[in-house]
Structure 1
Amino acid sequence: MSSKEKPTLGGTRIKTRKRNIAAPLDPAAFSDAVVQIYLDNAGDLELVAKSVESSDLNFSRYGDIFFEVVFIGGRTQPGTVKPDEGERHPYSVIDCEPKREAILPSVVYIQKILRRRPSLIKNLENVTRRFLQSLELFEENERKKLAIFTALAFSQKLSGLPPETVFQPLLKDNLVAKGIVLTFVTDFFKEYLVENSLEDLISILRRGKMEDNLVDFLPPVRRSAESFAEHFTNEGLPDLVEYHAKKMLEVKLKEIKTVLTSKVTEESSVDEVIETVKQLVKDAKLPEIEVVRVIWDGLMDAVQWSGKNQQQNANSVLRQVKAWAPLLNTFCSSGKLELELMYKIQMQCYEDAKLMKVFPEVVRSLYELDVLAEDTILHWFRKGTNSKGRQTFVKSLEPFVNWLEEAEEEE
């Protein structure tokens, strides 16, 4: 068997590729060049923006340094906020007056830069996070300027600053413990609310995962609803205090409902559940009306709905009412609270189609179990103020009310 020679590339010259030679890093030269642009234009940010746009500087490599120059006038030493050797300019955010009219031009300037160079958005986020994590290294007056800048950045919808970038880095234990974070967010809130609503602020806090944890901004030794209310009331933010109080109430009520539903589902004894709810209510200092509402919600959440027909659903509700009447009776300790329970039942039956026809049966059962008094039922029937489904429910309850009135006349 003959063997064939392997083919060769005769007369062909194979070129060796040159290696890509990486340009040496020179952050100092980049920083000095940006600073010179500021100096050449005497800090006129409109002219600075045009010069930056037309320059051939390597922003893709030195984006972080660019924003260091914007915020503090020059390059910082690695791992710090202290100026490094090199040129500096006096037109930075830190060098401004701590007033919105002085700092707003810097926000507008950054907006223009980011529109032309969107790749710098991540660099702005990096530098902002680093500076916020190092707030203790800034002077008090400088921290206020950063707070105003950040508030204006959100107010002007500056891209590159997602809320979590601002709020999450602030939660460093040492910064919170020293009260630095509380002062920062107070300045931030006050500045942001100058031109924006509380709802807008709450939306930012929600996206920053801080909506339910505002007290975390307070030092641990002051971390309470009372201290929160005192501080922000003194700072002229009563609407924020009111919102926080409502939010904390919702959290506490949700906790009680979850515990209650769990214990009912687990078939704990009525006495055990009553004591558990009493303790939770005492610890949370909850309004009695809210407690009545959440108890009803908790009981209904624990109902095993069959969903087959109206009567089966009605039977499920009535079994739950009969089993837990002592719990309802414990917390419906006045005519006002009994009336509130009726309104709560009315609303649920109105909002849940499968319970529309259950209302009169539930009311009658609660009357027979001594949870609702006759006077309460008659007051609701004659003078009830909740209009949701009222006409339908009044008509369905009329035979029972007539029976009550006839019995009262006989007596």
Structure 2
Amino acid sequence: MSSKERPTLGGARIKTRKRNIAVPNDPSGFADNVIQFFRDKDGDLDAISKVIGEVDDLDFSRYGDTLFEVIFTGHALQPGSVVPLEDASDQPWNVLACEPTKSGILVYVSFVQKLIRRRPFLIKNLENNLQRLLQSLEHYGPEDRKKLAVFTALTFSQKLGLPPETIFEGLLKDAIVQKGTVLSFLTEFCKEYLADNKFEELVSLLKRAKVDDRLLEFFPMQKRTVEAFNDHFHKAGLDVLVEYNNKKVFDIKLRELKATVTTMISEEAPVDDVIAFAKKEKKDSSLPEVDVLLDLWDAMMDAVQWSGKNQQQNTNLALRQVKGRGKLLGAFSTTSKAEFALIYKVQACCYEDAKLMKLFAEIVRILYDLDVLGEDTILTWYRKGTNPKGRQVFVKALEPFVKWLEEAEEEDDE
């Protein structure tokens, strides 16, 4: 054997590695095949869904986006745009060509639903296409924009599995919001969704989409006011959305008020300064007195620097806060309704916080001395209070003070 020859195993088969063969990308060809299905079945979506979902020759995993382009627009689109491919074939059975009615569009939603059941991975392609179309709403007329809004609402009503956050958050870009088309989409979407679902379900959907606190951002910058919001949705017949947003605005304003007051109290700002600030915020934001009062109580408690060393120290800190800042509560406890709201708030607070559990009667007495709680309010709560949280314990603790009030009342009568 020559030294240059390599030894071999007799009869051994030497395998050669197969190389990956790159298949050229052909979305146009895929679209033509899909369109042919539509033509062969004369647009019968039920018949098409039974056939097309079982065809193995169509590479849905590679051309899923193209499939939905044909379903939405009737033809394949250029990458990243809503412009048709050059020389693209067309078919008239698509979402943007159907009647702008719920019944007309629901047929296509059901068709898509059947496709996704057979091939669940197509949900991502549906998501991609909807995102692209909705972010290009200005390229379509009012009727087509309405069709897209109704289609989107029905996909969520029918629970196809779309993630709402990717659909809605992409719309909150000033460049497209400024054109007003996003607001018209949101309006039509809400109207259609509420036709089949409760308002609480819409709120849940908006929360999942992370836009429930950002509804004003759907308005062009120059119209981004509560007044413009209320006027627009009132005219659209969506008063429930107006009420919801007003409450959200109130909640945000109240949170901001509470945070600022807590800081002012922690920094030992004069009580009169805190009262002046709170009254100005109440007036400027039209905040209800009762809500302001309850938030001020929370701010007072949040501002207490709990030592945590022993119960007696915490007791002293809490009572000192009520004595020193009770005047703040008195400025907003001007009606019997406000007084009752406050005494129930104190009851709940003392029940839920172990540090305050034994202080209810003492706090009520201090608030009485400061003219924050009236005698009638205390006696009515004692005799007819409806909140059961810790009531038996608190009634017993308050009994000596109530007895003193009743005796004083009898002396006044005499």
1:271 alignment partner in structure 2: 272
Between the aligned partners of 1:50 and 1:95, the Cα distance in structure 2 is 22
2:362 alignment partner in structure 1: 361
Question: Equivalent of 1:10, from 7, 11, 14?
Answer: 7
The equivalences for 1:143-292 within 5 A come to: 143-159=145-161, 161-292=162-293
The Cα shift of 1:87 comes to 1.4
The Cα shift of 1:353 comes to 4.2
The equivalences for 1:28-39 within 5 A come to: 28-39=28-39
CA shift digits 1:107-153 (9 cap, x unpaired): 11112211222222221111111111111111111110010000000
Letter in 2 for 1:241: V
Comparing 75-84 with 362-371, which one deviates more in the overlay? Answer: 75-84
2:405 alignment partner in structure 1: 404
Q: Is the 8 A contact 2:165 2:209 kept in 1?
A: yes
Q: Is the 8 A contact 1:215 1:223 kept in 2?
A: yes
SS of residue in 1 equivalent to 2:340: helix
Letter in 2 for 1:358: L
1:131 alignment partner in structure 2: 133
Instruction: Give RMSD over aligned pairs.
Output: 2.4
Unaligned runs of 5+ in 2: none
The Cα shift of 1:372 comes to 2.5
Letter in 2 for 1:223: R
Verify: 1:393 aligned to 2:360, yes or no.
no
TM-score, L = length of structure 2: 0.90
Q: Is the 8 A contact 2:326 2:372 kept in 1?
A: yes
The equivalences for 1:324-343 within 5 A come to: 324-343=325-344
The Cα shift of 1:287 comes to 0.5
Comparing 279-288 with 63-72, which one deviates more in the overlay? Answer: 279-288
Letter in 2 for 1:106: Y
Between the aligned partners of 1:323 and 1:90, the Cα distance in structure 2 is 76
The Cα shift of 1:253 comes to 1.3
Comparing 348-357 with 252-261, which one deviates more in the overlay? Answer: 348-357
SS of residue in 2 equivalent to 1:273: helix
Question: CA, structure 1 residues 20+329, in 2 after alignment: closer, same or farther (shift >3 Å)?
Answer: same
Between the aligned partners of 2:28 and 2:340, the Cα distance in structure 1 is 74
1:3 alignment partner in structure 2: none
The equivalences for 1:93-132 within 5 A come to: 93-132=95-134
Between the aligned partners of 2:336 and 2:185, the Cα distance in structure 1 is 48
Q: Is the 8 A contact 1:310 1:355 kept in 2?
A: no
Comparing 128-137 with 382-391, which one deviates more in the overlay? Answer: 382-391
SS of residue in 1 equivalent to 2:299: helix
Letter in 2 for 1:227: A
Q: Is the 8 A contact 2:290 2:332 kept in 1?
A: no
CA shift digits 1:174-194 (9 cap, x unpaired): 332222111111111111111
Identity between Structure 1 and Structure 2 (%)? 56
Comparing 395-404 with 288-297, which one deviates more in the overlay? Answer: 395-404
Comparing 273-282 with 396-405, which one deviates more in the overlay? Answer: 273-282
CA shift digits 1:326-356 (9 cap, x unpaired): 2122222344423322121122223334433
Between the aligned partners of 1:70 and 1:313, the Cα distance in structure 2 is 67
Between the aligned partners of 1:382 and 1:363, the Cα distance in structure 2 is 15
SS of residue in 2 equivalent to 1:404: helix
Letter in 2 for 1:302: A
Letter in 1 for 2:66: I
SS of residue in 1 equivalent to 2:206: helix
CA shift digits 1:283-314 (9 cap, x unpaired): 32101111101100111122233456654443
1:47 alignment partner in structure 2: 47
Letter in 2 for 1:64: D
The Cα shift of 1:18 comes to 5.0
